[in-house]
Amino acid sequence: MFPIIYSDRFLDHDTGSFHPERPARLTAIVNALKAASFAHQLTWHYPTPLTERNVLPWVLQVHTPDYLEEVQAIARRRGGGILDPDTPVSQGSYDIALLAVSGWLDGVDQVLANNRPAFVAARPPGHHAEPQRGMGFCLFSNAAIAAHYALEQPDIQRVAIFDWDVHHGNGTQCATETDPQMAYCSLHQSPFYPGTGQAYERGMYKNVLNIPLRAGSTVREYESVIKGQVIPFLQHFQPDLILVSAGYDANADDPLAGMKLYPEDYGQFTRLLLPLTPRLLFGLEGGYDLDSLGQSVVETVSACLSLG
């Protein structure tokens, strides 16, 4: 069985009319998974409620108290606002973003307990959120927070984050590049938003691998760098757990980028990762064409189920 961590509450993060990071993204994923031939092999898990798990100490491993106070104030006291022109906050967004963190932590628990992959279908996304600011649709740095949490679990000494979103995860890199127990690897379109992620950025412990790719790159270019650079980088680091910042906005149909991938390509990327470790947690980042988003998640999960 394959765990999906999801809650309808994630739909209540209201980004307003016409915003690309919208609730329909999760609806498309859920509908695609429930229509898949392997739907009977999925188990659906509600994130641990905030009343049962205090996620704030984990969030504060990455973000400053002042930043948390800012997000909370915009949401609860002002009833909504913006962190930057791309990143709206609605009345419920603070609590929903914390619930998304809880979902990622649950995903870590699932993977470590079962020694098998899992998928977190949560929003808002997180890889652009820096310690002192949210940006790029992101409120809290979910993957980096989950990495800190994982390192406190028994027998976990090293955690790697592989980010295949079309944008560089500036927030994730910022939260990991000075920690020798973490590694960060990103494939991203360049030049492109947010303008970070140059190849020469290697981290304090040579624990960062950025691979900028030109617009129009296809599965051929992606597979070449995954096999030639990403896999050797991860093998050298020897992570006990790999977190995948699973953005699907490098699809050819995506309206916000210029890459030429297709849903089945993400299944292939997943199959390339599986020999490294069965301890793989996939968590949603970007992806804004609803059909290709839903089918890409289906392909990712299908590849994991091929483990048997």
Instruction: Specify the pLDDT at position 60.
Output: 98
Half-sphere exposure at residue 94, Cβ-oriented, CA atoms within 13 angstroms: 19
Sequence-ordered list of residues with C-beta below 8 angstroms from that of 17, at least 6 positions apart, any chain: none
Q: 3-class DSSP state for residue 244?
A: strand
Q: How many separate domains does the chain show?
A: 1
Residue 193 structure tokens: 């938003």
Is 45 a residue of the active site?
no
CA distance 249 to 287: 4
Instruction: Kindly indicate the confidence band of residue 306, based on its pLDDT and cuts at 50, 70 and 90.
Output: confident
Mean pLDDT value across residues 79-83: 96
Judging by DSSP bridges, how do beta strands 159-163 and 182-189 pair with one another? parallel
Closest listed residue to residue 287, CA positions, set 261, 254, 260, 243: 254
CA distance 138 to 89: 10
pLDDT, one tens digit per residue, over 56-65 is 999 999 999 9
Matching residue, tokens 């092999």: 41
Q: Which residues form the domain of 55?
A: 2-305
Mean residue pLDDT of the chain comes to: 98
pLDDT, one tens digit per residue, over 224-281 is 999 999 999 999 999 999 999 999 999 999 999 999 999 999 999 999 999 999 999 9
Please name the helix (run of DSSP H) or strand (run of DSSP E) that holds residue 208, with its range, or none: strand 208-213
Per the residue annotation, which of 13, 128, 148, 188 is the catalytic one? Answer: 128
Residue 122 structure tokens: 């949560």
Instruction: Specify the pLDDT at position 307.
Output: 76
pLDDT, one tens digit per residue, over 182-192 is 999 999 999 99
Q: Please determine, for residue 308, whether its predicted confidence score (pLDDT) is greater than 80.
A: no
Give the CATH number of the domain where residue 290 resides.
Answer: 3.40.800.20
pLDDT, one tens digit per residue, over 120-177 is 999 999 999 999 999 999 999 999 999 999 999 999 999 999 999 999 999 999 999 9
Instruction: Specify the pLDDT at position 270.
Output: 98
User: Model-level pTM?
Assistant: 0.98
